[in-house]
Amino acid sequence: MTTDTQLTVTVAGGSYPVVVAAGALVSLPIRLMELGLRGALWLVSDAAVTQSCSEPLAARLRAAGFTVHTYSVPSGETSKSPAQLARLYDWMLSGSVERRDAVLALGGGVVGDLAGFAAANILRGITVIQLPTTLLAMVDAAVGGKTGINHALGKNLIGAFHQPRLVLADTITLTTLPPRELRAGWAEVIKYGVISDAGLFTDLEGLAATHRWDARPSSSWPAQDEELTGHLTAIIKRAVAVKVGVVSRDEREQGERVILNYGHTIAHAVETLTGYGTLLHGEAVAIGMHAAARIAVALGLAEVGMAERQRRLLAAYGLSVAMPAGLDPEAVIAATLRDKKVQAKQVRWVLPTKIGAVVLRDDVPEALVRQAIGA
């Protein structure tokens, strides 16, 4: 048995391990065997990780006796499309996919959502294994079972809950991640500290004091820097632990899971108004977290120092909290009302009371929002 300490998501349909470790992918063949998976493997990756990750992984799996089919989708959000999904179905069905087979989703959140959705539907659902290769996918997208694609009318409008049987995050894969993508992932990590783990937040502050995270921490990172890789892996694991806990307590987003949307109300509005692709999601989340903290301060829920401490940590990880220039505050407010999560025309705000705790409020006056997103 593989024995390193691991996190476990427990949901209605069963439980699954979430492994975060440097070099974790090496253990994939044995872990698949332990899960009793003996069918063919449908390895989906994106162009950015095909050569560095997918090909060596496929070779390792074949050496262990697995039949492996590989498919690479173009990098980027446009791959989460009905057309790309149809191509995946064609590939799998023409290759005689069987119910005992498994899809391996190796890549960022785009691959995880797309391949996960294909696995949820093909032959009425087959196993999916999530193998995240971006910081954002490791701490967020790969855990929790949300899968889906975009529609011309909006993001993530077609989807399904389909929990993976295993999540394996190999932090070494982050070596090749562009620094901007890494920074965007940090926003979600910091978010977990604010919503539920003050200790994680403090540790992130400590790490910021000893290393620069607004760019790649060192040219040899992480492959030749074991200490740094160790810190990073430990931090990612703690961030994932927050998501694992929340998802285990509220699989279908009927209660607590909504706190994961901290910063996302304004973030979605800003993303919509600037056009998807201008800002990375994590960059928009940083802006949204700052606005939410300012709202909390204005409501007397949190102290000014809390918002400032959050702003400083975001800055230390290379994240700006400034609204994009030229964005009309009225348009931002109007966009928050169109958000998917709005119920009965009330925006449900996730607001911090201190580092490590949030509350839900649906009675925030528009004037306060206007003030929080103003200059």
Interface residues with ligand NAD (CB under 6 A) are: 46, 48-49, 75-77, 80, 107-111, 113, 133-134, 136-137, 140-141, 144, 146, 156, 173, 176-177, 181, 281
> In a 10 Å sphere around its CB, with 0-12 CB exposed, 13-18 middle and 19+ buried, how is residue 215 labelled?
exposed
Question: Residue 268 catalytic?
Answer: yes
Closest residue to ligand NAD in the complex (CB): 109
Please, which residue, 133 or 336, has the CB nearer to ligand NAD? 133
Nearest distance from residue 213's CB to ligand NAD, in Å?
Answer: 17
Question: Residue 124 catalytic?
Answer: yes
Please, which residue, 6 or 163, has the CB nearer to ligand NAD? 163
In angstroms, the CA 325 to CA 107 distance is: 32
- The backbone region for 72, taken as left when phi is positive above 0, alpha when psi lies in -120 to 50, beta otherwise, is beta
Q: Which of 183, 261, 290, 294 is catalytic?
A: 261
Question: Residue 237 catalytic?
Answer: no
Q: Which of 162, 231, 268, 311 is catalytic?
A: 268
End-to-end CA distance of the chain: 56
In angstroms, the CA 88 to CA 74 distance is: 12
Q: Which of 264, 290, 309, 311 is catalytic?
A: 264
For the record, the structure tokens of 134 come out as 């971006």
Nearest distance from residue 208's CB to ligand NAD, in Å?
Answer: 21
Q: Which of 80, 162, 237, 243 is catalytic?
A: 243
Q: What are residue 45's DSSP bridge partners?
A: 72, 106
Question: Residue 290 catalytic?
Answer: no
Question: Residue 281 catalytic?
Answer: yes
Helix H or strand E encompassing 179: helix 179-196
Question: Residue 151 catalytic?
Answer: no
In angstroms, the CA 242 to CA 28 distance is: 24
> In a 10 Å sphere around its CB, with 0-12 CB exposed, 13-18 middle and 19+ buried, how is residue 59 labelled?
exposed
Please, which residue, 80 or 311, has the CB nearer to ligand NAD? 80
Question: Residue 146 catalytic?
Answer: yes
Please, which residue, 138 or 347, has the CB nearer to ligand NAD? 138
Please, which residue, 66 or 186, has the CB nearer to ligand NAD? 186
Active site residues: 124, 146, 188, 243, 253, 257, 261, 264, 268, 281
